Amino acid sequence: MAQKAVKRESAVMDALLSNKPLQVPTFKPGMLVEGVVALITKGTILVDFDGVATGLVSGRELHDSLNTLKGLKEGDAISAYVIEDENADGLVLLSLRKASQERRWTAFIDAYETGKVIKVVASEANKGGLLLELDGIKGFIPVSQLAPLHYPRVDGADPGLILQRLQSLVGIEFAVKIISIDKENGKLILSEKAAFDEERRKSLVDLKPGSVVKGKISGLVKFGIFVAFDGLEGLVHISEIAWGHVSNPADYGRLGDPVEVMVIGVEGDKISLSMKRLTTDPWLEVASKYKVGTVVEGEINRITPFGAFLALEGEINGLIHVTEITTDTITEPGERLKVGDRVKARVIAIEPDERRIGLSIKAVDNPPEGMEEGAEGEVKKPRKKAAKKETEEAAA
């Protein structure tokens, strides 16, 4: 440092002795200037400009997003923004914060004009999206511009739940593109979705039904599970989550969980996925395991207006129609059964294609003719229209 000072003083003296005009730096508000740190004290930095001018950085102007002050030491070269060319003490007022801001603006404008992807971290959330600030420059990522993995999918578009999801994204790094820039007002509009557009287009071209892809759960709603993968997002409808009855998709994963799915349909931007088709369909073995006339035992796991479901194994349930519960006249299954009851029932119908096993409690002790244990008889099936309706309701 002392050597640098001696050299500067020598340069000034040489200029005076040679009668050459001394080159005094020009300082105008808004300029970025280069100098050398002469002194660091608590709350101030003095910057030397070739021994002919001194700059002062103080207060909030010391702090920028890169935390330049932390690693700074006397003798270091430094870039600063001119706030005022000269104060009452003859010092040039400088700002590290605004210098960093100007450099950022240059980088942001370049990214905006070239479509470059940049990385940012959200510092706050409101019901409309995510907010951030870099050296006084405010950025905003609207909810509509979030990529599938971060888009807050909630049942009923509940504002409270949406805000809760957005708040969980604060502090996370995002890859984004700048889609609107306003230097005059210090504002940027950013899009995470746009950052993945090219990847998304490429992925969509290669996507075909039957493809197996790996992704992460991006949304859990009443009607299914959303999965984000390769910049895309698809829906596993509740009927494609498991082979058995699914009452709550949230029982099959949490947000952010990795998951493997099969693509079963692609219509424009609509992608249909399946989890259950990556597993063996248990109904393929039903006909060989359960014979008409066989007596089975299990637990009632669901009751509907038209009957009760008996858990047989895994995802296989049998339906005890309300008319097969008792020989007495009842209008609701709940009059005789409740969830958790363990009962015996006789298999009276097997329809693997319809994913339906018909059971009867009343036929256990009084089997129809030809319906004894192990016999190959079959009772009369319900009317086709009613049977179809019950099958659809059971799958819902």
pLDDT at 265: 94
Range 169-194 average pLDDT? 94
Distance CA 126, CA 275 (A): 34
DSSP 8-state class, residue 153: B
Whether the predicted model's global pTM rises above the 0.85 cut: no
Q: Is the pLDDT of residue 18 over 70?
A: no
DSSP 8-state class, residue 114: H
Q: Is the pLDDT of residue 387 over 60?
A: no
Looking at per-residue confidence, does 30 or 12 come out higher? 30
Segment 351-377, tens digit of pLDDT: 888 888 999 999 998 877 666 554 444
The structure tokens 């759960």 sit at: 217
List Cβ neighbours of 260 (8 Å cut-off, separation of 6 or more): 212, 213, 214, 275, 278
Segment 244-293, tens digit of pLDDT: 888 899 999 999 999 999 999 998 888 999 999 999 888 888 878 888 99
Window from 64-68, 225-229, 366-370 with minimum mean pLDDT: 366-370
pLDDT at 182: 94
Range 160-176 average pLDDT? 93
pLDDT at 318: 93
Cβ-count burial 195-225 (b if 16+ within 10 Å, e if not): bbeeebeebeeebeeeeebebbbbbbeeebb
Range 221-228 average pLDDT? 94
pLDDT at 199: 83
Q: Is the pLDDT of residue 16 over 60?
A: no
Contact 45, 39 (CB under 8 A): yes
pLDDT at 353: 80
Task: For the chain, list the domains and their CATH numbers.
Answer: 2-99 (2.40.50.140), 115-195 (2.40.50.140), 197-278 (2.40.50.140), 289-395 (2.40.50.140)
Q: Name the average pLDDT for the chain.
A: 85
